[in-house]
């Protein structure tokens, strides 16, 4: 049996925001880009990459990681190098936001080095932004913030 549900404009806005800011590692935008990229012949995110991204995001949310480096420079891409502890070992995770031109274009991605030395690139911009925002909000970075400052001239 069908039901008619009436939504106000504010209800609809809340619903759309909740879908966009979902708890999964990949955002709605990442999924759309992945689908469109697949249609255009670009490589799609594999199930293993998606599972790895979910595991990394869960570990960072639970605080099971250590910040190794923080980059906020103009020449060096902005982002973090962190070590994430998962069940099968320690993973090195590099989050990067790189300027690719002077008009404001940028490229956002994450590179993961597995315990076996294999490198996996996760090109999902939403996933990388979630990681960066989680790390920025965490107390671990605030406590060690003096360690990551560039020397004053």
Tokens of 6: 């009436």
By percentage, how much of the chain surpasses pLDDT 70?
Answer: 68
pLDDT at 29: 67
Q: Which of 91, 90, 51, 95 is nearest to 70 (CA)?
A: 95
- pLDDT, one tens digit per residue, over 102-144 is 676 777 889 999 999 999 988 888 888 888 888 888 766 555 5
Going by pLDDT thresholds of 50, 70 and 90, the confidence category of residue 82 is very high
Whether 89 shows a pLDDT value over 80: the answer reads yes
pLDDT at 93: 94
Q: Are 76 and 96 in contact (CB under 8 A)?
A: no
Strands laid side by side in the 89-99 sheet: 65-71, 78-86, 89-99, 106-113, 119-122
Whether 77 shows a pLDDT value over 60: the answer reads yes
Going by pLDDT thresholds of 50, 70 and 90, the confidence category of residue 34 is low
pLDDT at 92: 94
Whether 40 shows a pLDDT value over 70: the answer reads no
pLDDT at 19: 60
Q: What is the mean pLDDT of residues 10-31?
A: 68
Q: Are 114 and 93 in contact (CB under 8 A)?
A: no
pLDDT at 76: 63
Domain ranges of the chain: 13-146
Q: What is the mean pLDDT of residues 63-87?
A: 83
Q: Give the rounded distance of the alpha carbon of 52 from its chain centre.
A: 12
SS3 assignment for the chain: CCCCCCCCHHHHHHHHHHHHCCCCCCCHHHHHHHHHHHHCCCCCCCHHHHHHHHHHHHHHHCCCEEEEEEECCCCCCEEEEEEEEECCEEEEEEEEEEECCCCCCEEEEEEEECCCCCEEEECCHHHHHHHHHHHHHCHHHHHCHHHHCCCCC
Compare 43 and 122 and report the one with higher pLDDT: 122
Number of CB atoms found within 10 A of residue 44's CB: 13
């Amino acid at each position: 049996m069908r039901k008619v549900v009436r939504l106000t404009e504010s209800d609809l806005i809340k619903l759309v925001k909740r879908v966009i800011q979902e708890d999964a590692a990949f955002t709605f935008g990442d999924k759309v880009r992945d689908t469109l990229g697949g249609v255009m012949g670009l490589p799609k995110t594999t199930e293993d990459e998606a599972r790895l991204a979910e595991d990394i995001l869960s570990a960072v949310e639970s605080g099971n990681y250590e910040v190794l480096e923080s980059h906020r420079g103009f020449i060096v891409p902005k982002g973090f190098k962190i070590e994430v502890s998962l069940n099968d070992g320690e993973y090195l995770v590099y989050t990067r936001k790189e300027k690719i031109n002077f008009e404001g274009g940028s490229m956002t991605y994450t590179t993961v080095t597995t315990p076996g030395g294999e490198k996996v690139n996760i090109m999902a911009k939403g996933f990388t932004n979630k990681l960066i925002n989680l790390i920025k909000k965490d107390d671990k970075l605030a406590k060690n913030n003096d360690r990551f400052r560039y020397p004053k001239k």
